Chain A
Amino acid sequence: MKITVNGEPTEITCETLGAALDELGYGPAKVATALNEDFVPTALRATTKLAPGDRLEIVAPRQGG
């Protein structure tokens, strides 16, 4: 299905957020996620289903002021 990952149209084959992170190559990376503008805690990724058109944001620690 086609979803948007960090603003980019992306084709994925899996059905859950947790599996999508693996498919997209994040592995054990320290990231946090939001789906359709709502925060999804790490513990809920495995059971969070994705649907076509979903907007997924994946962020990591960065410099800030």
Chain B
Amino acid sequence: MAEFYGTQVSSRLMLGTAQYPSPAILADAFRQSGAGIATVSVRREAGGDQAGADFWGLIKDLGVHVLPNTAGCHSAREAVTTAHMARELFDTDWIKLEVIGHTDTLQPDPFALVEAAKILCADGFKVFPYTTEDLILADRLLEAGCEVLMPWGAPIGSGLGLSNIYGLRTMRAQFPDVPMVVDAGLGLPSQAAAAMELGFDAVLLNTAVAKAGDPAAMARGFAQAVDAGRLAFEADPMEPRDMAAPSTPVIGKAFLT
């Protein structure tokens, strides 16, 4: 079981709730994924509008833990205010902290991220920071009070997979006891399996499922890949080697010319 801030979750797949063709398809995808954590956001609502209530009803019916995000925030102050609004709306102190520093890549602003993390951790939030594989930044986030790290696989929504496997492997090795989630950039189940094989505790994705032709089927595919990757990690994989090593015994082979 994976554990985040003392909460155990049976599934190592975390799934976003955006961009599905319909609420019914969203719900079906969640059922097929087995995900125990759903990411959500806060957005402007007009007077008399029911969109917020309708969406909240749908999420409550899924029976999952809710992880609100600060998506789209570009400053620490904006992210902190958004986190407070999310805490009140969703009645949780969990927050997926995103502070974006670059519009085209949606790369986090490391300086504002640490600033916001310090403020929110001091205010009792349980912060899940969307970060890069940068080790120094990871250290600063842990110092700020974060007990989970969420390095990107690739830019959000890109579907490129693990664009810096060396960096992710190094990060996993550097912080062996910190729960870590590969967040963003995954496009295929094989990429999720690869992240799990590296020893990450979970993966978080949205677009790969929501924008698939059949989101429910893709959700099931990701669920199986995450399980397979985790099993492989726990099974202690063999070391790769450059030269062949016969698997069939050499001794005892019939001598034939």
Chain A contact residues, CB within 8 Å of chain B: 6-7, 21, 24-27, 29-34, 37-39, 41-42, 57-65
How many angstroms between the C-alpha atoms of A7 and B156 in the bound complex?
27
Knowing A29-B45, A31-B45, A32-B42 are in contact, say whether A61-B55 is a contact too (CB < 8 A).
yes
Asked if B68 is an interface residue, CB under 8 A from chain A, the answer is: yes
B51 touching A62, Cβ below 8 Å: yes
A65 touching B71, Cβ below 8 Å: yes
Asked if B131 is an interface residue, CB under 8 A from chain A, the answer is: no
Cβ–Cβ < 8 Å partners of A64 in chain B = 16-18, 39-41, 68-69, 71
Knowing A37-B77, A37-B78, A65-B16 are in contact, say whether A60-B51 is a contact too (CB < 8 A).
yes
B44 touching A58, Cβ below 8 Å: yes
A6, A27, A41, A61: which contacts B59 (Cβ < 8 A)? A61
Asked if B2 is an interface residue, CB under 8 A from chain A, the answer is: no
How many angstroms between the C-alpha atoms of A40 and B56 in the bound complex?
21
Chain B residues 1 to 52 lying within 8 A of chain A, measured CB to CB, are 16-20, 26, 39-52
A39 touching B85, Cβ below 8 Å: yes
B42 touching A62, Cβ below 8 Å: yes
A21, A33, A41, A62: which contacts B41 (Cβ < 8 A)? A62
B47 touching A26, Cβ below 8 Å: yes
Report whether over half of chain B's contact residues are helix, strand or loop; otherwise say mixed.
Answer: mixed
Please give me the residue from chain B that is nearest to A42 by CB atom. B88
How many angstroms between the C-alpha atoms of A38 and B228 in the bound complex?
45
- Give the top 5 A-B pairs by smallest Cβ distance, nearest first: A60-B52, A64-B41, A25-B47, A65-B16, A65-B206
Please give me the residue from chain B that is nearest to A63 by CB atom. B18
How many angstroms between the C-alpha atoms of A30 and B43 in the bound complex?
12
How many angstroms between the C-alpha atoms of A31 and B42 in the bound complex?
9
B81 touching A61, Cβ below 8 Å: no
Please give me the residue from chain B that is nearest to A25 by CB atom. B47
B89 touching A60, Cβ below 8 Å: yes
Chain B nearest CB: distance from A52 CB in Å?
20
A65 touching B39, Cβ below 8 Å: yes
Asked if B148 is an interface residue, CB under 8 A from chain A, the answer is: no
Cβ–Cβ < 8 Å partners of B55 in chain A = 60-63
Please give me the residue from chain B that is nearest to A34 by CB atom. B81
Asked if B100 is an interface residue, CB under 8 A from chain A, the answer is: no
How many angstroms between the C-alpha atoms of A29 and B50 in the bound complex?
8
B207 touching A61, Cβ below 8 Å: no
B18, B44, B48, B71: which contacts A6 (Cβ < 8 A)? B44
